[in-house]
Structure 1
């Protein structure tokens, strides 16, 4: 019976692939082929429209089906703006500002790209339908305020008055229902576990969160004051006295005009010239593709290697077929670094990291590849995205140079681990959990039936100490600190990029643009000489994306292999045959940072 259902599942998957997905793949390939032969030219008077009301990822997804998702990437946006700077047909930029909060580092990086665009003399207009008190809405306002003119709809409300974050603590609920959150952390600032074990902020948790929130808030106010030519102290007082109606915000010079988005569109089109057309970022990007070089006369290449998401061992991406969900798999990212090492044209590597952390073993595998790049004589510059904390800092720690945004969350040099023991809780509902073990005492250490016994806890605690010591060793070596100093600024504490620069965990504030310039300098590429960009990991083929999507079913994978054989695609067959079910291995430790929802 089980085999029957597996067979039926495979047949169903095959039908879905054959009648739904394959036609989409074929259409994409046809569209791609047509685009490669004749890309449309940019209209003579173009207004680019950047709509930031949808989700943002840090990096351009390698999934070929991600174009069907509405989200954009930070690196895609700054790359498009860099091309638009030099495109004489692009006359202006219209930004649709989000109502809620943005990841602060994303706002920082896009703002910097907007400022470079403005320096070419091109107009930037932003339109808002309100700034709601959601997440770090101050970052959304900061980005919108970087435009030449900021418009707001007449019925909207200006509610950007500070930074607020919620935390949900489950300690009392766990105690009430008999769930034992049996965890250890190294050390007091490693706060990812606190929401499971506590009912309120510990003093260290409160101190660290308040510090990085203040850092982001102070940075945002400073930038807005500079962009809008206001006194920072006076601006802070005005902001905190809100909220405001559009009329009040206009009077207080927080915005420049009141009007509907259609009025803003008409205004910017008039400024752009006769018969101006609004072109979306997605449409313009399809005309231009990813930027492949900087400057003319390129002889050397710089590899841009990207990793986004939680760090895990293994291969493959568990993101949805049509979405841009991402994770860092250590085999994939290490292989990408080795490919850049082996490419003789690549003179330096820019390693873009956006991760809250993950497996210590996976992190070490990636760091080993980074060391190999340095040993091969190729400088490595890390560009930190929204997060590069815990495991994200582990894989960055030994780079030649680290660049972060002022509001990047980084550090969190520490480790935590443990388990939820739910045997008692289930017993209250008549469910009895029993455990059988063959072997040593530690064999059932991670059984959910009960908490650690004394011997198990001692062994587990020793493993926490060992991983923390390894982390400290790497940070001390990479940042040229004594182990004592590394421990002093570690203890699991999260820092902003601005704070991290002050204590030596980061070398420079900025984004990918600044990281590329530093990589050129370290590789001794003359400033007058152009460089080519090579992106790693390379984008997946449609077949590879399908393989990842159907990896949970061996029968479905077999069906896809057969379809690939019928279509005579050897690459498809090779990919499909490598598909296997992959489950995350149970691990006793993780180097993860708290990851606020902005």
Structure 2
């Protein structure tokens, strides 16, 4: 009964989502089977078209399938960056077109992709951007282009960053559901939606600080690319002065307002095509098949990149998860491979299970004990348990707009006594041989002794977290505590306070790992190994077609937001044991 009631809370909404997903998958299978066919594309006079309607995982295909996402073969960030690097040297590729009204990715990923496009421009090839309208994140990416074009009836959604947090305390009280919540760290805000009706002063403070830091970086990049003063960008955001095409053009957010056919005429001119010739657009997926991009396979010595992205979970499995059993096998395999000379731990996670976090921390220690250097590299997030697993690394690299820190933990247990007794008319009785035989029940109020035990356990794990960071970073525990307490920092600030060593991306971390291992000629091997299911392969064709065509983009964005909100809160509500988890819903668009 205890497990039933625990699961019920997080599963009711899941039933509705599952029904909708089944309908979509069944429809998609039919469409995929009828579409059929294999592409006969070539790279000659090719123009890379970046639509970015699908999620971008760290590692190719290492992403959980969700509504509106592209299942199956989904290129990872490093893969995409390498393809752009290859395209810059490929005489067949004439330029890049960014056609993205919305993007589905975090800000650190977006910044690295933007930097890769900027590097592509150094080849002298053109980069154009076009959209019927630009979301804020899409414009952040598009602004790096040589020229930015907009539909005459479009808009540019520059508005600043914000957070909208739903609070469930009132609705749970009406349902008769209580939560006993224990947390270490005044800034540890993951449980606030269940114990408060508004943000705490601490959470409001930290949110304002890191949002201002992140929007400042975005404004700086846009200002440099578009040659718009920072104060003018602030005015545009505050007044929504890109809300129509005329204002966007007047404020120099875009270079021209034209229709798609007019835009294509400009692309043809760049590629030196006749007016009736078809432009050879290539998606990065297309180009990946044509370029046959491989690692440097001739070398024996290796640098292993271990991607740790998604929730940190215990005894669960699946893509986009950091599971104790899977990662124990990965690290064991690495230790047994004599040719692996260094490891890069690439983290993109808001954390989760404190137990699994500590297990992976131990695996990093075992690698170092064997003389294998470990360099950590942070993506969009490396917070709470995501920071824990990397705390022992020899060196830590982060993007300037990575969200990291959140060094704190929490425990929680739902109580359904009021729901079962008052709403459903169900009562419980028990017989026990010892005082704690039915402890931590979801149908009885928690005793003072039980509360004391959980408080002690939560504080002990928080202290252990501080000690792990203290050892790994070479900082006194008191100094770690000063910057811990569950507080979230950007990568740029984390470097200033000693939680991060360098501002840089995955490739810089790989280079640093090779240097520390004293190797110059090496190949990169990636973990975990990803295998596609038959269902994913069947759905892939249809899903990619929908993503590339951008159908119902706004609806899909809203559905993804609701689904993400459901999944994140379900993960918290159903969590067992002490959690080292960050939960944020930041509005970038």
Please give the per-residue CA displacement for 1:9-41, whole angstroms capped at 9, x wherever unaligned. xxxxxxxxxxx9xx99xx9xxx9xxx9xxx988
Corresponding residue number in structure 2 for 1:536: 527
Match of 2:208, SS state, is helix
> Alignment partner for residue 596 of structure 1, among 582, 585, 589?
585
Match of 1:534, SS state, is strand
Match of 1:57, SS state, is coil
Corresponding residue number in structure 2 for 1:310: 311
Corresponding residue number in structure 2 for 1:481: 475
Partners of 1:540 and 1:265 in 2: CA distance? 38
Corresponding residue number in structure 1 for 2:170: 172
Bigger drift between 510-519 and 384-393 goes to 510-519
Indicate conservation of the 8 Å contact 2:401/2:490, yes or no: yes
Give how far 1:197 is off: 0.5
Indicate conservation of the 8 Å contact 2:176/2:419, yes or no: yes
Indicate conservation of the 8 Å contact 1:64/1:545, yes or no: no
Corresponding residue number in structure 2 for 1:559: none
Match of 1:192, SS state, is coil
Corresponding residue number in structure 2 for 1:129: 132
Partners of 2:262 and 2:535 in 1: CA distance? 45
Partners of 1:263 and 1:243 in 2: CA distance? 25
Q: Structure 2 vs 1, CA of residues 62 and 234 (structure 1 numbering), >3 Å: closer, same or farther? A: closer
Partners of 1:487 and 1:68 in 2: CA distance? 41
Corresponding residue number in structure 1 for 2:547: none
Partners of 1:289 and 1:433 in 2: CA distance? 65
Give how far 1:64 is off: 12
Corresponding residue number in structure 2 for 1:115: 118
Q: Structure 2 vs 1, CA of residues 156 and 67 (structure 1 numbering), >3 Å: closer, same or farther? A: closer
Query: Does 2:52 align with 1:49?
Result: no
| Mapping 1:27-66, distance limit 5 Å | 42-62=42-62
Give how far 1:222 is off: 1.0
Query: Does 2:428 align with 1:434?
Result: yes
Give how far 1:167 is off: 0.6
Corresponding residue number in structure 1 for 2:89: 86
Corresponding residue number in structure 2 for 1:358: 352
Partners of 1:106 and 1:278 in 2: CA distance? 24
- The count of corresponding residues between Structure 1 and Structure 2 is 514
Indicate conservation of the 8 Å contact 1:64/1:540, yes or no: no
Q: Structure 2 vs 1, CA of residues 455 and 145 (structure 1 numbering), >3 Å: closer, same or farther? A: same
Give how far 1:63 is off: 8.1
Partners of 2:106 and 2:349 in 1: CA distance? 13
Corresponding residue number in structure 1 for 2:401: 407
| Mapping 1:193-204, distance limit 5 Å | 193-204=191-202
Query: Does 2:351 align with 1:372?
Result: no
Corresponding residue number in structure 2 for 1:524: 518
Partners of 1:524 and 1:488 in 2: CA distance? 36
Partners of 2:311 and 2:217 in 1: CA distance? 27
Partners of 2:465 and 2:260 in 1: CA distance? 50
Query: Does 2:189 align with 1:191?
Result: yes
Give how far 1:49 is off: 0.8
Please give the per-residue CA displacement for 1:116-147, whole angstroms capped at 9, x wherever unaligned. 21122221111222234xxxx3x332211111
> Alignment partner for residue 454 of structure 1, among 448, 453, 456?
448
**TM-score of the pair, normalised by structure 1:** 0.79
Q: Structure 2 vs 1, CA of residues 130 and 544 (structure 1 numbering), >3 Å: closer, same or farther? A: closer
Provide the aligned C-alpha RMSD in A: 3.1
> Alignment partner for residue 444 of structure 1, among 420, 424, 438?
438
Partners of 1:425 and 1:50 in 2: CA distance? 51
Indicate conservation of the 8 Å contact 1:415/1:589, yes or no: yes
Indicate conservation of the 8 Å contact 1:184/1:418, yes or no: yes
Partners of 1:145 and 1:103 in 2: CA distance? 17
Partners of 1:131 and 1:41 in 2: CA distance? 29
**TM-score of the pair, normalised by structure 2:** 0.80
Corresponding residue number in structure 2 for 1:561: none
Partners of 2:45 and 2:575 in 1: CA distance? 57
Indicate conservation of the 8 Å contact 2:58/2:307, yes or no: no
Q: Give unpaired runs (5+ residues) of structure 2.
A: 1-25, 538-572
Give how far 1:101 is off: 7.1
| Mapping 1:207-286, distance limit 5 Å | 207-244=205-242, 245-274=244-273, 276-286=279-289
Partners of 2:536 and 2:96 in 1: CA distance? 34
Partners of 1:228 and 1:57 in 2: CA distance? 29
Partners of 2:77 and 2:431 in 1: CA distance? 49
Match of 1:392, SS state, is helix
Indicate conservation of the 8 Å contact 1:105/1:406, yes or no: yes
Give how far 1:504 is off: 1.0
Indicate conservation of the 8 Å contact 2:128/2:147, yes or no: yes
Q: Structure 2 vs 1, CA of residues 469 and 272 (structure 1 numbering), >3 Å: closer, same or farther? A: same
Give how far 1:72 is off: 4.8
Q: Structure 2 vs 1, CA of residues 263 and 209 (structure 1 numbering), >3 Å: closer, same or farther? A: same
Q: Structure 2 vs 1, CA of residues 187 and 231 (structure 1 numbering), >3 Å: closer, same or farther? A: same
Indicate conservation of the 8 Å contact 1:99/1:128, yes or no: no
Higher relative contact order (CA 8 A, sep 6+): 2
Indicate conservation of the 8 Å contact 2:88/2:120, yes or no: yes
Bigger drift between 245-254 and 96-105 goes to 96-105
Give how far 1:359 is off: 0.9
Bigger drift between 345-354 and 183-192 goes to 345-354
Indicate conservation of the 8 Å contact 1:58/1:386, yes or no: no
Give how far 1:242 is off: 2.1
Corresponding residue number in structure 2 for 1:580: none
Give how far 1:266 is off: 3.8
Bigger drift between 483-492 and 235-244 goes to 235-244
Indicate conservation of the 8 Å contact 1:63/1:539, yes or no: no
Partners of 2:354 and 2:535 in 1: CA distance? 27
Partners of 2:233 and 2:476 in 1: CA distance? 41
Please give the per-residue CA displacement for 1:262-297, whole angstroms capped at 9, x wherever unaligned. 43344224313446511111111223355413xx97
